């Protein structure tokens, strides 16, 4: 397996000003894998409880998502509940239950350990490091993080940054990590910590790619009807990494194209709850929206 993601498989209960869903399938690795599988097979490493439906995992398999790395444990699966305000940028966490994820000790199958492309989805830096320790010689390792880990596991996160090639985070997290209000200075400081590039997400305002020798800015894809933004960042990362794994190219032009593909896969995600929309569309639909976005941003 050449492309691997390590992260969460979960149930989400989501409220928006217009609708809600109870115990929808979610999790960082779930969204990432659905997006990445548009470009080729991806191996999934995570843990589920006894309440996670077997038919959902079989659906994953049918989409080119390898589930050999999914561990089954006694207890309930990770659960998150949240509510969004009408501006979509304000999210309130109502409940988080780690359940079986609290004791998750990632174990990569032998077939995953020679992966060239590895994504460490949002999780405790200690778990991300344990997973990375099991990969022999990856070409590209990218990690996601969040304000919680910057706050309570900063030293472990800084240590991880010295071992990865790319970091995905949002503007608030970049400022928190560096103490810099200016995003360009914040990006420069993060690059000094070890990564060769960072992808800085700004929600409906798009994303930035900061590298050692190049920068790239991209607006969000114009979506007429946002239904649920949960998983948009993970879907972006899946499209970004999935394209790079498919092309096996890491040059700046490939990274810029990967940014467009990440933006496109995120746009499908927000058009439905859970994986309802991103699961409907194949590579052809992704390419058509990519062409439309490219025409939109090209002079």
Q: Which CATH superfamily is domain 3-297 in?
A: Ribokinase (3.40.1190.20)
pTM: 0.96
The model's pLDDT over 153-196, given as tens digits with 9 standing for 90+, comes to 999 999 999 999 999 999 999 999 999 999 999 999 999 999 99
Domain ranges of the chain: 3-297
The model's pLDDT over 238-288, given as tens digits with 9 standing for 90+, comes to 999 999 999 999 999 999 999 999 999 999 999 999 999 999 999 999 999
Helix, strand, coil % over all residues of the chain, rounded to 5: 40, 25, 35
Give the per-residue pLDDT at 89: 80
Short-list 197, 200, 212, CA closest to 176? 200
Give the per-residue pLDDT at 298: 84
Phi first, then psi, for residue 219 (nearest 5°) are -75, 165
SS3 23: strand
**CA 62 centroid distance within chain:** 21
> Residues with Cβ < 8 Å from 180, sequence gap 6 or more?
174, 186, 189
Beta strand pairing status for 91-97 and 207-211?
Answer: unpaired
**CA 101 centroid distance within chain:** 17
Q: Is 284 exposed, middle or buried (0-12, 13-18, 19+ CB in 10 A)?
A: exposed
Give the per-residue pLDDT at 168: 96
Could you give the C-alpha distances from 150 to 155, 159, 175, 176, in angstroms and in order? 8, 12, 11, 7
For the cut 80, the answer to whether the pLDDT of residue 299 exceeds it is no
Please tell me the distance from the alpha carbon of residue 37 to that of residue 62, in angstroms, as a whole number. 10
């Amino acid at each position: 397996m050449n492309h691997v993601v390590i992260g969460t498989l979960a149930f989400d209960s989501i409220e928006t000003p217009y609708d809600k869903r109870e115990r929808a399938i979610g999790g960082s690795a779930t969204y990432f894998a659905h997006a990445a599988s548009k470009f080729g097979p991806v191996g999934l490493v995570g843990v589920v409880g006894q309440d996670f439906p077997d038919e959902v995992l079989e659906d994953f398999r049918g989409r080119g998502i390898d589930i050999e790395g999914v561990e089954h444990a006694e207890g309930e699966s990770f659960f998150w509940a949240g509510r969004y305000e009408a501006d979509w940028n304000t999210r309130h966490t109502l409940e988080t239950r780690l359940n079986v994820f609290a004791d998750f000790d990632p174990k990569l199958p032998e077939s995953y350990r020679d992966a060239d492309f590895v994504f460490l989805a949002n999780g405790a830096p200690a778990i991300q490091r344990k997973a990375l320790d099991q990969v022999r010689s990856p070409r590209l390792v990218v990690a996601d993080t969040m304000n919680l880990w910057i706050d309570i596991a900063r030293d472990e996160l800084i240590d991880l940054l010295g071992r990865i090639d790319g970091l995905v985070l949002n503007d608030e997290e970049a400022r928190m990590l560096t103490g810099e209000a200016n995003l360009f200075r914040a990006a420069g400081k993060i690059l000094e910590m070890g990564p060769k590039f960072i992808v800085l997400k700004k929600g409906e305002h798009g994303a930035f790619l900061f590298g050692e020798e190049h920068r790239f800015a991209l607006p969000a894809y114009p979506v007429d009807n946002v239904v649920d933004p949960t998983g948009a960042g993970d879907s972006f990362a899946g499209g970004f990494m999935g394209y790079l794994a498919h092309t096996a190219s890491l040059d700046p032009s490939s990274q810029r194209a990967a940014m467009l593909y990440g933006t496109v896969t995120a746009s499908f995600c927000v058009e439905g709850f859970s994986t309802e929309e991103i699961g409907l569309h194949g590579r052809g639909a992704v390419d058509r929206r990519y062409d439309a976005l490219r025409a939109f941003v090209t002079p």
